[in-house]
Structure 1
Amino acid sequence: MHSITLRFLASQSTPLVANRIPGGTVLRWVDEAGLACASAWAGGASVTAFVSGASFLQPIQSGDLVEVEARLVHTGNSSMHLAVGVRSGSIQGGELQPVTQCVAVYVAVDEQGRPRAVDTWTPETPGDIALAQRVKAHIEAARAAQ
């Protein structure tokens, strides 16, 4: 599986700030979707290696419908690079609006926690190729800035 979409209601049991879901909670959802996508592709355990580029465009209100999509865009020997996007909106309908987008890298690991090989994924559509190029450029820029 090279993509996964999680849909759920922003729970009122989540600690709120001014009736808004905190950014840290949104980032947890990003990591959960990314981990699910990466682990499915790897056919086993994966760990988060890198998350970058999350800028929040609008808040998520308690009770909003939330959609978190994680898409595999590139594989290395043991790594999986993903584009993750979050959208939200009213449960009563209407178009979901972008909340944030980011890049995440996960590494497949064996039972001892050591990196292990993953199958190669090759983008095929022009949209997938362009997305893979943007993600790769983002990761390279972030690593160069360290």
Structure 2
Amino acid sequence: MAKPQRELTLRFLAEPQDVNFGGKVHGGAVMKWIDLAAYACAAGWSGRYCVTAYAGGIRFVAPIHVGSLVEVNAKVILTGNSSMHIALEVSACDPKSLNRRLTTHCIVIMVAVDEHGEKISVPEWIPETNEDKQQHDTAKKLMEMRKQIGQEMQIFVD
């Protein structure tokens, strides 16, 4: 079996249908691109169909203009039994200059499922570099924080 793909980048041009009423790319369009990249990354790592379990910590840092070359970089930073934590960064630039700037970043958790929709195990990702280890440790800390936030959020769903 080939080595799982840990990281990938989707590239495309922002189109007029992606624009909001303010003339910039709509946040919902950016979130769709993030979900697509997270899926492709998780599927490449696991070799399985994957579903989104969580998307959080999304930060819109800078607007994206129509006609911009957009790059969505996704990489596995933590694996569980069936889950994969994917760190995503969105950058954009004028395709004539290629002077990229960060526009959005977040973490998405994808879960691998079988043909019946049941969770299925994924290959373990083991950090190798110092940067990998730092991202891995941060993902674990964020997981604990999400548990606390989830408990606090129960007041809104009961």
* Range class of TM-score, shorter chain: over 0.9
TM (normalized to structure 1)? 0.95
1:85-100 alignment runs, 5 A limit? 85-100=89-104
Unaligned runs of 5+ in 2: 151-158
In the alignment, structure 1 segments of 5+ residues that lack a partner are: none
2:59 aligned residue: 55
The correspondence for 1:66, drawn from 65, 70, 73, is 70
Which residues in structure 2 correspond to 1:13-92 (within 5 Å)?
Answer: 13-92=17-96
1:24, CA displacement in angstroms?
Answer: 0.8
Aligned length: 146
Percent identity of paired positions between Structure 1 and Structure 2: 38
Q: Which has the higher helix share?
A: 2
Please say which structure displays the higher CA radius of gyration: 2
1:11 offset after TM fit, Å? 1.1
- CA–CA distance in 1 between the matches of 2:17 and 2:31? 17
Q: Deviations over 1:68-97 (max 9, x none)?
A: 000001111111111011011111114211
Measure how far apart 1:19 and its partner are: 1.9
Distance 1:15 1:134 in 2: 34
Query: Which amino acid in structure 2 is aligned with residue 32 of structure 1?
Result: L
Question: CA RMSD of the aligned region, Å?
Answer: 1.1
TM-score normalised to structure 2 length: 0.88
CA contact (8 A) 2:42 2:110 kept: yes
